[in-house]
Amino acid sequence: MSARYKRVRRLLCCAAAFVVLYIEIAGSVATRAALFGVNGLAAPSIAYRSPFIERFLASLGEGNSSGPIMPILYLTSPDGGATINVLDSGCPAAKPGGMYCPTYLTELLGHLFSPPRLWHPVGIRNFSVVVDCGYGGILLHDTTALKVHLLDAARATVTTVVLQTINVLRPDKHIAGVGGLANVATTNLSVPAQAATYHHLLRRDFPFELGPFEEVALDATAPATWAATQLSTGERFVLFGTDGLYRGTPRLHGNYAHYNWSLPSDAMAFATSTAYYEAPYSIDSYAWVRCLLGLGIAFNLGLNMAVAGVIVVNMWHHQRQVWIPDFYPSVQRRIQLRALLLLGATISNDCWHVFEYCLQKGNAREGWNSGFVLEDMVRSDGLTYLLSLAVTLADVLKTRLGLDVLVAIYVVCLSCRLQLLQTCGWCLAETNAFLAANYMACIVSEPDKPMSLWMYHDNAVTPLCLLVTELTWFIVAVSLALVYAISSKVVDVAPPAFARWTRVEPMVTVHVTPKRRPALKEPRAHGRALPPWHRPASVGVVCAGAHSESGRFEQSDAQLLAETHGIVAPFDEDPEARTFVSASGVWLLGYLVLKSTYLVEIHAYPWLWLNVTCRRDLFRIYCFRIGLRGRTSADMELLRCADIAPTDLVTDISLQPLQWTHRRQ
């Protein structure tokens, strides 16, 4: 690899580490928000359209309809609205004996308009009822929403009635119940673009009890909620609908919303469409486990970035050298542990937040609702699983992978989520059927009642087809990461003529003195010591002063650099041809240089800060002393706070090439 290529790759890996940090922090913030419950902004949800009524009313004005008008007209169209057919036998899509049958409509409208209202003095018997059979509620068999149009005998005005079952709160009496709210608007067909004037009628305990409706006035509204006052008594109500699902109880796991519907200023717009608006809410009371798991990675990665940033500034200021750090090796072993713990926490929580993500993404894709979900949680978890898998693959295959390539794979697959879903189409039909059934599961039917309630419902099932479909992007990302790891190994073992570069595998013949250890290997009571990148080597997590035996910075440590595998940015090390370890190699081994004199482990840096700040040796911190030509001392020595000033920990930390110390025979 050329030097320019290595610098570019290291810069890309550096940028990718910042992307990882951002995703981790965003995921932790979202998880904490879900723990206490979070409200989303009011947003449009589904819209029930009436496609035939406007064309029918226009034909009345054109004089294309003649003869007596039947008491109830059912509008259908064989060609999508170009031709309107008028039936008197009911809508083909409506359920038999449902709420659009003549018997129920006559009784219901009688309670709405009898006795005649001051704003609608003509009795209901002087009108013909028009039912648009293309209305979205009829097509979906939604028995909680009713919409009809009343046409006067002179065919001069049309009155649109929208009736929806809702929740009714009575704050003064601390009573919660249900009811039906009807919005009524009358339009003069001879006046184009007429402004709508609404009247509102409320019946408590509807649809269980059918009786006279009381007129109410809607006051200032909260998102997706109406405050109403009954005109005859002055009693105040809070009116809203509920939509969505929960698991166990609404305060344990839930993703649901309060909703109402639009009252447009244009009367014809009200006649042709009923648009619902919802204020979503999400809660996961067991999210505290994942919240704790997410903070550690972001904290350690952020501290390493801060230390590396100071070193970059100091190296440019004192040495006029541009050093590009590699942040990720310091946390890649921790992220494997986090992935395992995260998987356990997710399974123990019945995969709720993953199911919630998939459900709401599917709902938004199919247009069932606005699809509110804290997607940062799943985005962070997915990246954790992908990087953990990549580290594992690199260990098994003994190769190096670039963080920039892995993050690019992940971000591109996430950005192309819908395209990948449509292209692969895994379990798509089954998933769409589940989404439709889940939407209609909010209907709470009452036997022998034509209309029903719409409420959020309990859900205890996480269908596999939903996860496969909505996580297609993640499956593709994992597959591409696997292909990348295998390709990297193929390049490693390929002959030089067919590969751009090969990793150096030095073989150095030296005699190891049994009483001595390499300086950069962690002392252990038993067994082989692990190199720093196979143990936690990030800032502030391993107890300082762990070294109790002497050691030296030796050629065998540089050999370890050549044998590293994992997610590591390219660096220039060749122990057979050079006698120095570069600044990047020193950083990868887990060290920094203090005052150009001391070689200190990175994880000891925060504890050194505490010692210097308190002016006491609270923690035993060991270091190597750097001599002439970058040679390190043969033994580690205790670094005392008296030798360091607080400003040295900011202005005098850097990196420099270090010379190997050959073992004494």
List pLDDT tens digits, range 121-134.
766 778 899 999 99
Tokens of 621: 């911190």
The amino acid at residue 47 is: A
pLDDT tens-digit map of 77-91? 988 888 899 998 889
What is the Cα 39 distance to its own chain's centre?
A: 14
**59 — pLDDT class (breaks 50, 70, 90):** confident
The amino acid at residue 339 is: A
Give dist(CA 171, CA 486) in Å, integer. Answer: 65
Has residue 399 got a pLDDT over 70? Answer: yes
Question: What average pLDDT does the segment 110-117 reach?
Answer: 86
> Cis ω on the peptide bond leading into residue 207 (within 30° of 0)?
yes
Question: What average pLDDT does the segment 580-608 reach?
Answer: 89
Q: Is 653 helix (H, G, I), strand (E, B) or coil?
A: strand
**39 — pLDDT class (breaks 50, 70, 90):** very high
Quote the radius of gyration of the chain (alpha carbons, Å).
35
In 3D space, the residue among 376, 384, 377, 370 whose CA is nearest the CA of residue 351 turns out to be 377
With 0.75 as the threshold, say if the pTM is over it: yes
578: exposed, middle or buried (C-beta count within 10 Å: 0-12, 13-18, 19+)? Answer: middle
Tell me the torsion sign for CA atoms 528, 529, 532, 535: positive
Tokens of 202: 């409320």
Helix residue ranges per DSSP H, 400-442: 403-415, 417-424, 428-440
Give dist(CA 206, CA 446) in Å, integer. Answer: 11
User: What is the number of residues in the chain?
Assistant: 665
Residue bearing tokens 């993703």: 255
> Cis ω on the peptide bond leading into residue 518 (within 30° of 0)?
no
Lowest mean pLDDT among 112-126, 295-309, 387-401, 627-641: 112-126
**579 — pLDDT class (breaks 50, 70, 90):** low
Give dist(CA 653, CA 315) in Å, integer. Answer: 9
Query: CA 215, 219, 222, 227: dihedral to nearest 10 degrees?
Result: -40
In 3D space, the residue among 623, 660, 665, 659 whose CA is nearest the CA of residue 641 turns out to be 623
As a whole number, the mean pLDDT across the chain is 85
Give dist(CA 186, CA 196) in Å, integer. Answer: 7
Tokens of 261: 């519907």
